[in-house]
Amino acid sequence: MIIAWAVFFVLFPVLVIFLCQKFPVLNKLGAVVICYAAGIIVGNLGLLPENIFSLQDTLMTLAIPLAIPLIFFSVDIKKWSRLAGKSMLSFTFVVVSVVAVVGAGYFIFRPWIGVETWKMAGMLIGVYTGGTPNLAAIGTALRIDPVVYVATHASDVVIGAVWLLIVITILQKILLKFLPPFQRLGDENQDREQTDFDSYAGIFQRRVILPLLAAFGIAVGIFAAGAGLTLVVSKEFAMVAAILTVSSLGIAFSFIPAVRRIPMTFQLGQFLILIFCLVVSSMADIQKMLNTAPAILVMVAFVYFFSVAVHAALSAMARIDTDTVIITSVAGLYSPPFVPMVASALKNKEIVVSGVITGIIGWVIGTYLGIAVAYILSLF
């Protein structure tokens, strides 16, 4: 029975990926959301055996430390360090505003959310400066209650959907009353970054799968290094040490051109994150989640809207243009896969590269920043 559930946890995300590629309506909903929903259903219908926890814990422990280096392998730090000044300044304002507003939200909402609030705050900083990989990594490192984890991510999905609708419809018109318009360069940037983050097309072709297996082997070695470090640090900080180690080594290997050019390392890392989403949501007690979710939903909404307001205010003082503010905000709040869609809604292809680059920088820094701020907040 346990083996059958292990197969389910690993292969169900494969089915979800296939269906999302085949049916656009499911792709719009998102593989992460589908895996979360499926996990909650399975976990709350009484289908799981009583001795399933050891399998769930093992899969959660393996998935994120393996996923993080795979995602970072494609990062070109040298190239992205030459990012245009205003785009980088705007993204800096994104980070500052998220940290400031999450810090305020921690003190405001802690009485209603409880002892896990500092961990939740760290996850929110990670997800709103980077994306789901950061949220999952921080939640794993801090060993957050699965109920709070799922409620936080579910709240993020709900509030994020509402805000994204505002972004692609009326936000540009509103910000143009306070910010200058984007000055077009008149020519297209020929050196485009890969933006098709969700496509798994061709992953089983020989020219793709063999290098990808080599990348996975490197990720396993990095995982082993992180696991080894847990043997020499105190148990309280063991998982944090492991996550930071695999993140740092993943970035270090990205400086090797042969590793960085391996195709679809991001997609393989994202697949492992889907396994994590399915497993962690299967551990969530829906009754406890409903009791906790209202306060978490309000805190997430508070962070969303006030962090955007602070970002816009700082950008107005620096006279950063409207489109750059929007695309760097989207890069932080939603991650790079959303950048091309929003750029299309703004009818501005020139901002795609800046959005993708700042979003990937967010992936790099989000885990470190979220864990650091979470521990600082836990002191208060």
In 3-state terms, what secondary structure has residue 121?
helix
Is residue 191 in a domain?
no
What is the helix (H) or strand (E) element at residue 138, kind and residue range? helix 132-142
Separation between Cα atoms, residue 46 and residue 6, nearest integer Å: 17
With tokens 């083996």, the residue in question is 3
d(CA 86, CA 325): 9
C-alpha–C-alpha distance, residues 361 and 332, integer Å: 9
Give residue 350's identity as a one-letter amino acid code.
Answer: E
**Contact call for residues 323 and 172 (beta carbons, < 8 A):** yes
pLDDT over 90 percentage in the chain = 48
Residue 188 covered by a domain: no
Count of other CB atoms within 10 angstroms of residue 374: 26
pTM over 0.85: no
- 256/66 Cα distance (integer angstroms): 18
In a domain, 190, yes or no: no
DSSP state of 194: P
Q: Is residue 134 part of a domain?
A: yes
Q: Can you tell me which residue has the tokens 């695999």?
A: 246
Arithmetic mean of pLDDT, 340-354:
77
The total domain count for the chain is 1
Cα(95)–Cα(130) distance, rounded to whole angstroms?
A: 10
pLDDT exceeds cutoff 60 at 189: no
Residue 209 banded pLDDT, cuts 50, 70, 90: very high
The C-alpha atoms of residue 141 and residue 222 are separated, in whole angstroms, by 16
Distance CA 73, CA 262 (A): 8
7-11, 246-250, 283-287: which range is least confident on average? 283-287
- How many Cβ atoms are within 10 Å of 174's Cβ, its own excluded? 12
- What is the domain extent for residue 233? 2-182+202-377
Q: Which residues of 52-68 are buried (b: 16+ CB within 10 A; e: fewer)?
A: beebbeebbbbbbbbbb
Residue 17 lies in a domain: yes
Does residue 197 lie within any of the structural domains?
A: no
Q: What is the mean pLDDT of residues 177-197?
A: 63
* Element containing residue 165 per DSSP (H, E): helix 146-166
> Is residue 178 in some structural domain?
yes
Mean pLDDT of 51-74: 88
Residue 168: its pLDDT value, please? 84
322: CATH: 1.20.1530
How distant is the alpha carbon of residue 313 from its chain centre? 25
What does the alpha-carbon distance between residue 61 and residue 82 come to, in Å, rounded to a whole number? 36
Q: What six digits make up the tokens of 213?
A: 């297996």
**Above 50 in pLDDT, residue 193?**
no
Sign of CA dihedral 320, 169, 37, 356: negative
Distance CA 72, CA 293 (A): 32
In a domain, 193, yes or no: no
**What digits encode the pLDDT tens for the residues 101-129?**
999 999 999 999 999 999 999 999 999 99
Confidence band, pLDDT 50/70/90 cuts, at residue 329:
very high
